[in-house]
Each structure stands twice: as structure tokens, then as C-alpha cells.
């Protein structure tokens, strides 16, 4: 029996703000959207052409407060082919939340506070 990882889910408080962030910060665009007729939730999958793996953003209509992420010890990592340009872009966006130059990586935070690790291609 084999398993292939296909997506990760993040619940988001403001779907449009999150979609704009993921497109600007990481080049992820909407590939699929669905939800029930009553509009109680919307699920949007975002991805890019570099990987089959998708990020599922779930918005719940009745959610009235931002999510409590606790210690926020979970993250998703993204590898970039131009680490310096990515770092400059994320610094300009003001979304770098943790920088670790000794390890050669940094983290950005999305509008809901989820951490996303940015790592360079390594040989």
C-alpha cells in the first residue's frame, strides 16, 4: 500500500486576504474552489506549477474571531530558487517573523499567523 501526500489544510479568517497573501508571497494561485449552496463555508485550493501538493484554505462563515494557534509549532516549508530575492520581497512585505541566518532559512507569517519556512535550494 502506498500513500501520496496531496494537500495540507489551513483554516483562515479572511479568505480574500489570505488568497492575496499566498499569491503575492509565494506565487500560489487558486486551482479549485467549492462550498455548499448555503455559503456556510468555502474551501479554496492554491498551488503553483512546481508541485502537485496543494494548500487547502478553509473559510467558515460563522467564525467571528481569528484562530488561536496556540504555540504555533506547526509549519509548512517552501524551497525557493532565488533565496535572496525571496528574502527581499518578504522583508518588503513585512511578513518575516523569524530569521535564522546560521541555518540559512527564515519564516514568514501569513495573515492568520501560520508560519511558513523559506529555504534555499541546496546542493
CB 47 within 8 A of CB 56: no
Q: Which residue has the cell 462563515?
A: 61
Catalytic residue among 23, 37, 56, 117: 117
CB environment 68-98: b (16+ within 10 A), e (fewer)? eeeeeeeeeebebeebeebbebbeeeebeee
Instruction: State how far the alpha carbon of 47 is from the alpha carbons of 7, 19, 63, in Å.
Output: 9, 11, 25
Q: Strand, coil or helix: what is 100?
A: strand
What region does 89 belong to: left with phi over 0, alpha with psi -120 to 50, or beta?
Answer: alpha
Task: Please indicate whether residue 16 is annotated as part of the active site.
Answer: no
Would you name the residues annotated as active-site residues?
117
Amino acid at each position: 500500500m502506498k500513500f501520496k501526500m496531496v494537500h495540507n489544510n489551513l483554516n483562515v479568517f479572511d479568505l480574500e486576504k489570505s488568497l492575496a497573501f499566498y499569491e503575492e508571497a509565494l506565487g500560489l494561485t487558486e486551482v479549485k474552489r467549492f462550498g455548499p449552496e448555503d455559503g456556510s463555508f468555502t474551501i479554496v485550493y492554491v498551488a503553483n506549477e512546481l508541485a502537485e501538493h496543494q494548500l487547502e484554505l478553509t473559510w467558515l462563515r460563522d467564525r467571528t474571531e481569528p484562530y488561536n494557534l496556540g504555540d504555533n509549532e506547526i509549519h509548512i516549508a517552501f524551497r525557493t530558487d532565488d533565496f535572496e530575492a525571496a528574502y527581499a520581497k518578504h522583508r518588503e512585505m513585512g511578513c518575516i517573523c523569524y530569521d535564522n541566518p546560521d541555518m540559512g532559512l527564515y519564516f514568514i507569517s501569513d495573515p492568520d499567523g501560520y508560519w511558513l519556512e523559506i529555504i534555499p535550494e541546496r546542493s
